[in-house]
């Protein structure tokens, strides 16, 4: 797992390193500057003429240290200071005095930004919490319009390190070099669009600097998929779990097909589909591996459904079931009688939104996978508000109903009640396609059936789902990516 930190957490680590471990702030600043130089060299960024735009805080101090290192390497560099020099932080003032002693050139007025090959943004760093004024917004616009390569130091100026919000305007970087840990606001949109390629550099702030605390947010990485190697050689179809998929309605068999295929392709042993009789031929043709239990679209057999529930190790409830009276009855029956972990998705969420207290009744683990529209209905919140506060909304919902909330968006957030929060970093725009959510439900349910806890399966399932989409987009392109192609990508990821 990778830590994702907000501004408060990063400042705490920084302070602990300086005060508890006695590492001088100027040492950290020098290491940050060296790290930025490494990135410039590693990426072979043109340094024919460099402009370093500095603020008066410690981020500006980082920028001035970078300027000195470039100058001492005989690279043409100029420094533009924005702000009142009387307000320099202690370290920024020291760096300014060092630059002055070396004779590094400062400019009072910025020339045509296109005259530079590299522009380095060291204005604000992670501490910015207010909106930029009109003068700063104009400065950002001038820098962004330049043909120069743009490098941000720690985080692009104008981006909130906490939630990725654009604070009036922001520097749009081609590359961002950040220190110690990736910041949450660099992963969430729209901030992610302003960071370009992100490089995380170690400057001496490590695990020890947390002391007795840890961050709230994490990202799954490829190394977390090692559990896939724990598949027993001496096994049978029952070994890898039984998934009951309550899915589909008349003329809506596709969701059941996609979720079932995804569950099988993710490794579970058996999938049983509880669906209307009208879907029998379609499902037997599309997913011959599945067991079918069908019911009348006019009235479901409650006892039959309860028997199916008792058969399962995991239940996936909701893909394509519609919002008919029968669907309402099925959701109520499942929530009341389920004794195994559940993934609740799609139409089941829309039904539950009419009476959310139903979520407080089950005595089993629940994983809810709403997209922004479904969460809007569940919480009666505007989609725009949810999108701007996606991490907080997911965490609040998870705690309120004691469920694992997988809030789907371009950066899906998985919140464990009173536990960790995961922000998914992989995936692509091709996933914005019909049926993609049904595939995710199948993956998460399958992983749970194979023995993973809901807390493990939910964030790992999100990662695997996105990784499969990334693999298939290399072949079919993001434009041509379909839910079926994501299922095909599972084989490539899980192999």
The residue behind tokens 């941000």 is: 152
- Asked if residue 347 lies in contact with residue 374, where contact means CB atoms within 8 angstroms, the answer is no
Q: Are 415 and 405 in contact (CB under 8 A)?
A: yes
Report, as an integer, the average pLDDT of 173-197: 98
pLDDT for residue 212 is more than 70: yes
Residue written as tokens 């179809």? 237
| Residue 226 pLDDT > 90 | no
d(CA 238, CA 220): 28
Rg of the chain over Cα atoms, rounded to whole angstroms, equals 26
Residue appearing with tokens 């909701």: 318
Spatial CB neighbours of 288, under 8 Å, sequence gap ≥ 6? none
Give the strand pairing for 404-407 and 366-368. Answer: parallel
Cα separation, 245 vs 264, whole angstroms:
12
Q: Which residues of 390-416 are buried (b: 16+ CB within 10 A; e: fewer)?
A: bbbbbbebbeebebbbbbbbbbbbbbb
User: Given a cut of 90, is residue 228 above it in pLDDT?
Assistant: no
Percent of the chain with pLDDT over 70: 100
Cα(441)–Cα(318) distance, rounded to whole angstroms? 9
Q: What is the mean pLDDT of residues 94-114?
A: 94
pLDDT band, very low/low/confident/very high, at 327 (cuts 50, 70, 90): very high
Average pLDDT over residues 188-206: 97
Are residues 176 and 157 in contact, defined by beta-carbon separation less than 8 angstroms? no
* Rounded Cα gap, residues 472 and 494, in angstroms: 13
Question: Residue 446 — very low, low, confident or very high, per pLDDT cuts 50/70/90?
Answer: very high
From 96-105, 231-240, 293-302, 409-418, the region with the lowest mean pLDDT: 231-240
Residue 328: what pLDDT? Answer: 97
The Cβ of residue 208 has, within 10 Å, a number of other Cβ atoms equal to 12
Query: How far apart, in whole angstroms, are the C-alpha atoms of residue 271 and residue 284?
Result: 12
Tell me which residue has tokens 């920084």: 14
Give the per-residue pLDDT at 411: 97
Residue range 351-361, pLDDT digits in tens: 999 999 999 88
- Residue 229: band (very low, low, confident or very high) from pLDDT cuts 50, 70, 90: low
User: Distance of alpha carbon 470 from its chain centroid, rounded?
Assistant: 14
* 88/83 Cα distance (integer angstroms): 9
The distance in angstroms from the start CA to the end CA of the chain is: 20
Closest CA to 418 of 390, 399, 394, 438: 399
Three-state SS for the chain is: CEEEECHHHHHHHHHHHHHHCCCCHHHHHHHHHHHHHHHHHHCCCCCCCEEEEECCCHHHHHHHHHHHHHHHCCCCEEEEECCCHHHCCHHHHHHHHHHHHHCCCEECCCCCHHHCCEEEEECCHHHCCCCCCHHHHHHHHHHHCCCCEEEEECCCCCECCCCCCECCCCCCCCEEEEECCEEHHHHCCCHHHHHCEEEEECCCCCHHHHCCCCCCEEECCHHHHHHHHCCCCCCCCCCCCEEEEECCECCECHHHHHHHHHHHHCCCCEEEEEEEHHHHHHHHHHCCCCEEEEEECCECCHHHHHHHHHHCCEEEECCCCCCCHHHHHHHHHHHHHCCCCEEECHHHHHHHCCCHHHHHCCCCCEEECCEHHHHHHHHCCCHHHHHHCHHHHHHHHHHHHCCEEEEECCCCEEECCCCCEEECCCCCHHHCCCCHHHHHHHHHHHHHHCCCCHHHHHHHHHHHHHHHHHHHHHHHCCCCCCHHHHHHHHHHHHC
At 237, the pLDDT band (50, 70, 90 cuts) reads confident
pLDDT above 70 (res 298): yes
Q: How far is residue 260's CA from residue 245's CA, in Å, rounded to a whole number?
A: 7
Q: How far is CA 99 from CA 32, 132, 151, 273, 426, in A?
A: 17, 27, 20, 70, 41
Distance of CA 309 to the CA centre of its chain: 33
In this predicted structure, what is the pLDDT of residue 233? Answer: 80
Mean pLDDT of 103-112: 91
Rounded CA-CA distance 213/257 in Å is: 45
Question: Is residue 41 predicted with pLDDT exceeding 90?
Answer: yes
* pLDDT over 90 at 135, yes or no: yes
- pLDDT, mean of residues 334-340: 96
Q: How many C-alpha atoms does 424 have within 13 Å on its Cβ side?
A: 24
CA pair distance 1, 207, nearest whole angstrom: 13
pLDDT computed for residue 234 by the predictor = 78
Per-residue model confidence as pLDDT tens digits over 48-99: 999 999 999 999 999 999 999 999 999 999 999 999 999 999 999 999 999 9
Q: Are 147 and 118 in contact (CB under 8 A)?
A: no
Least reliable range by pLDDT among 5-19, 225-239, 464-478 = 225-239
d(CA 362, CA 343): 12
């Amino acid at each position: 797992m990778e830590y994702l930190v907000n501004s408060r957490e990063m400042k705490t680590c920084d302070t602990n390193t300086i005060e508890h471990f006695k590492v001088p702030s100027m040492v950290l600043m020098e290491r940050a500057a060296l790290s930025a130089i490494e990135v410039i060299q590693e990426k072979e960024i043109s340094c024919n003429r460099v402009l370093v735009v500095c603020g008066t805080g410690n981020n500006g101090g980082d920028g001035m240290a970078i300027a000195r290192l470039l100058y001492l390497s005989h690279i043409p560099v100029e420094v533009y200071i924005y702000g009142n020099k009387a307000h320099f932080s202690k370290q920024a003032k020291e760096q300014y005095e060092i630059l002055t002693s070396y004779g590094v050139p400062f400019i009072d007025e910025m020339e045509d930004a296109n005259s530079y090959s590299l522009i380095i943004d060291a204005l604000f760093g992670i501490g910015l919490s207010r909106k930029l004024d009109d003068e700063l917004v104009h400065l950002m616009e001038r820098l962004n319009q330049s043909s120069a390569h743009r490098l941000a130091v720690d985080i692009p100026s104008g981006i909130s390190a906490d939630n990725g919000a654009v604070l009036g305007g922001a520097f749009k970087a081609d590359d961002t070099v950040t220190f110690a840990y990736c910041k949450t606001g660099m992963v969430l949109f729209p901030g992610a669009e302003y960071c370009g390629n992100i490089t995380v550099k170690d400057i001496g702030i490590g695990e020890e600097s947390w002391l007795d605390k840890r961050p709230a947010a994490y990202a799954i990485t490829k190394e977390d998929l090692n559990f896939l190697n724990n598949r027993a050689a001496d096994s049978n179809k029952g070994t890898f779990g039984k998934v009951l998929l309550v899915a589909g309605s008349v003329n809506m068999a596709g969701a059941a097909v996609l979720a079932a295929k995804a569950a099988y392709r993710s490794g579970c042993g058996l999938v049983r589909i509880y669906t209307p009789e009208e879907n029998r031929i379609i499902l037997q043709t599309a997913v011959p591996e599945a067991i079918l239990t069908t019911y009348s679209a006019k009235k479901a057999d409650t006892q039959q459904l309860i028997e199916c529930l008792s058969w399962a190790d995991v239940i996936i409830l909701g893909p394509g079931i519609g919002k008919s009276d029968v669907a309402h009855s099925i959701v109520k029956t499942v929530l009341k009688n389920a004794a195994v972990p559940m993934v609740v998705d799609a139409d089941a969420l829309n039904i539950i939104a009419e009476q959310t207290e139903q979520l407080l009744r089950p005595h089993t683990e629940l994983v809810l996978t709403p997209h922004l529209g479904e969460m809007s209905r569940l919480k009666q919140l505007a989609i725009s508000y949810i999108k701007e506060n996606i991490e907080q909304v997911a965490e609040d919902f998870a705690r309120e109903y004691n469920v694992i909330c997988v809030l789907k968006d371009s950066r899906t957030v998985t919140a464990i009640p009173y536990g960790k929060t995961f922000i998914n970093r992989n995936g692509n725009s091709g996933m914005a396609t019909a049926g993609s959510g049904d595939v995710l439900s199948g993956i998460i349910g399958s992983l749970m059936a194979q023995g993973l806890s809901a807390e493990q399966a939910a964030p790992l399932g999100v990662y695997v789902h996105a990784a499969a989409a990334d693999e298939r987009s290399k072949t079919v392109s993001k434009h041509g990516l379909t839910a079926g192609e994501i299922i095909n990508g599972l084989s490539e990821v899980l192999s």
